[in-house]
Structure 1
Amino acid sequence: MKAIEIKAFGGPEGLAVVDLPAPAPAAGQVLVSVEAVGVGGVDTLIRSGALASYGFTEGFVPGGEVAGTVTAVGDGVDRSWIGWRVWGSPGAGGGYAEHVVASAEGIVPLPAGLSAVDAVTLGSAGTVAQFALVHAHFVAGETVLVRGGSGSIGLMTVQLAARGGAAAVAVTTSSAERGERLRSLGATHVLDRSGNGGEGAPAGYDVIIDIVAGADLPAFFDKLNPNGRLIAVGAVAGQPPADFGTKIMAAFQRSLTFATFSLATVSETALRAERSEQFAAASRGELKTVVHEVLPLDQAVSAHRKMDAGEVFGRIVLIP
């Protein structure tokens, strides 16, 4: 089968098309003939070598979510799954390929009205957004700032916060054109990347969902209301300064909270239920999937170049 492998850490040119043996499902797994692969920010970090300390090596096949048709099952899996169109995760990677294996416990059937492209645009991003808001103890009537609103996680956080009754949903983004698109999805205020601007924007926020991190993260503690919570769900700009916690300590009397959030801490049962609900909502038009571009699998290098350049609004999807 065709797959995309990281031949060398660094720039997108380190990705290469390779021929690999098709995998076989082990006990508890299904084999999926892939129709669509979501390209995520974590894929670019793995490719760059930034996550090598987490065990990722050259020779790795990226891709954490796919959609397609189940063609075989391993021991202990109901054979009636064969022929179903599903969303699935091959785990930490392996999705940039024509065939992948995924845990049967985590696969989610696709509603008739939802395409494979839409499924991989929503599947991971929607659950990160939802459970990050839960992790932040967000409730209706609170103000929310989404730092990094133009990526798939940010776009879903905007929609879910608005649907959840936020009093205001502010976003940081890089252009007025992107800001208008974010407004159409539920944003009430558009800020620049430093979190400034936005006529009539709240003076402070009860919840900040941060996909960016990086050197500027500590400045956003100043934008929290008393008892405010900042939840980091990504680090597309890299790690924050080593001493960023001193900013929270300096604001001791404001009772601020900083936390990280990963889907790894959510049970498969809860993830599957949430994805099923979101897929159904998307098929009814109640949630909007935003696809930046659909590219053939062998153009993964081009996809990663666009990601690195910050050109992407929504999600790039690869098609084997």
Structure 2
Amino acid sequence: MKAVSIREFGRPEGLAVIDLPAPVPAAGEVLVAIEAIGVGGVDTAIRSGVLAAYGFKEGHIPGGEVAGTVSAVGDGVDASWKGRRVWGFTGTGGGYVEQAAVPVTEILPLPGNLSATDAVTLGSAGVVAHFGLGHARFAPGETVLIRGAAGSIGIMAVQLAARGGAAAVAVTTSSADRGRRLRKLGATHVLDRSGDGGDDAPVGYDVIIDVVAGEHLPSFFGRLNPNGRMVVVGAVAGQPPADFGTNMMAMFQRSLSFATFSAATVTAADRDTARAEHFAAAGRGEIEAVVHELLPLDQAVLAHRKMDAGEVFGRIVLRP
């Protein structure tokens, strides 16, 4: 089968199409004939080499979520899975392939009215957005700012905050066109990347969901209301300054809270419950899966170029 691996850390051109033997599902696994592969920010971070310290090595196959049809099952797996359409989580890699062996505990059946493309657009992003808002103790009637709203996580956070009864959903993004599209998804105020603009935007926010992090993260502390909560759910711009906590300590009397959130801290059962709800809502037309572009698997280099250039609104999906 065809696969894409990281031949060399660094630029997208370090990705290479290779041939691998088709996998055989081990005990407790299913074999998925893949129809769609989600391209995520963590894929580009791994490919760039910035996460090498976490054990990633050249030769790694990126890709954390796939969707397709179960073609075979391993020992101990209910044979009724065979032939069913599923979403699957391949962990920190292994998804840029034509077929993948996935633990049966990491698959979820797809509703008949949900495409494989939409499934990999919503699957992981929706879980991060849902539980990120929960980690921030978001409640109806509160004001929310989504920093970095044009990616798949930010888009889901906008939709879920709006559906959850937010009094206002402000977003930071890079262009007026993206702002218009985010308004259609539930945003009420559009700001530039620095958090400025939008003369009628709230002065402060009860909750900030930050997908970006990076050097400008500390400047957003001052945009929190007293007792406000900031939760960082991604770091597409890298790490914040080493002394970023100094900004929060300077606002000690405002009782601000800062936290990070990873979906790895949520039980598999809870993740599946939330994911199934999002899939069902999307099937009913209540949540939109925003797909930037569909590309063949062998054009993974192009997909990563677009990601690095900041051109993507929503999610790029690869198809074998």
Q: TM-score range, shorter-chain basis?
A: over 0.9
Do the aligned residues in 2 keep the contact of 1:6 with 1:15 (CA within 8 Å)? Answer: yes
**Distance in structure 2 (CA, Å) of the matches to 1:66 and 1:93:** 11
- The Cα of 1:25 is off from its aligned counterpart by 1.6
Q: Distance in 1 between matches of 2:91 and 2:42?
A: 13
Counterpart in the other structure of 1:245: 245
Q: Which letter maps to 1:125?
A: A
3-state SS in 2 of match to 1:105: helix
Counterpart of 1:75?
75
Q: Secondary structure at the match of 1:150?
A: coil
SS in 1 for 2:186: coil
What secondary structure does 2:218 align onto? helix
Are 1:189 and 1:199, in contact at CA under 8 Å, matched by a contact in 2?
Answer: no
In 2, Cα distance between equivalents of 1:303 and 1:199: 36
Q: Structure 1, residues 38-58: CA drift from partner, whole Å, max 9, x if none?
A: 000010000000111111110
Deviation at 1:83, TM superposition (A): 0.4
Q: Which residue of 2 aligns with 1:217?
A: 217
Q: Which residue of 1 aligns with 2:285?
A: 285
**Mapping of 1:94-243 within 5 angstroms?**
94-243=94-243
Deviation at 1:106, TM superposition (A): 2.3
CA distance in 2, matches of 1:314, 1:97: 22
Inter-partner Cα distance in structure 1 for 2:288 and 2:146: 17
Deviation at 1:305, TM superposition (A): 0.2
Structure 1 segments (4+ residues) deviating >2 Å: none
1:11 equivalenced with 2:17 (yes/no)? no
2:215 maps to a residue whose letter is: A
Following superposition, the deviation at residue 298 of structure 1 comes to 0.2
Partner of 2:295: 295
CA deviations on 1:98-136 (whole Å, 9 max, x unpaired) are: 011212112111111110000000000011100000111
In the alignment, the residues of structure 1 paired with residue 87 and residue 311 of structure 2 have an alpha-carbon distance, to the nearest angstrom, of: 26
Q: What is the TM-score of this pair, normalised by structure 1?
A: 0.99
Tell me the secondary structure at the aligned position of residue 53 of structure 1. helix
Aligned pair count reads 320
Q: Map Cα deviations across residues 148-201 of structure 1 (whole Å, 9 max, x no partner).
A: 010000000000000000000000000001000000000000000000111210
Provide, for residues 17-69 of structure 1, a one-character-per-residue CA deviation record: whole Å limited to 9, x for no partner.
Answer: 00011222222211111000000001000000011111111000000000000
- Does structure 2 retain, via aligned residues, the 8 Å contact 1:87–1:109? yes
Match of 1:304 in 2: 304
What is the one-letter code of the residue matched to 1:276?
A
1:30 is paired with a residue whose SS is strand
Indicate whether 1:314 and 2:310 are aligned: no
Q: Which secondary structure state, in structure 1, belongs to the residue aligned with residue 105 of structure 2?
A: coil
| 2:258 match: secondary structure | strand
- 2:214 maps to amino acid: G
CA distance in 2, matches of 1:26, 1:255: 51
Q: Which amino acid aligns with 1:233?
A: V
Deviation string, structure 1 residues 210-258 (Cα, Å, up to 9, x no partner):
0000000000001001111111111100100011011111111111111
Shift of 1:273: 1.0
Determine helix, strand or coil for the equivalent of 1:247.
Answer: helix
AA matched with 2:135? H
1:3 Cα deviation after fit: 0.3
Gaps of 5+ in 2: none
Percent identical across equivalent pairs?
73
Give the drift of 1:92.
1.0
Residue type at the aligned position of 2:109: P
**What is the one-letter code of the residue matched to 2:203?**
A
* 1:250-270: CA deviation from partner (whole Å, max 9, x where unpaired): 111111111110110011101
Which consecutive unaligned segments of at least 5 residues does structure 1 have? none
Aligned twin of 1:64 = 64
Alignment partners' CA distance in 2, 1:293 and 1:206: 34
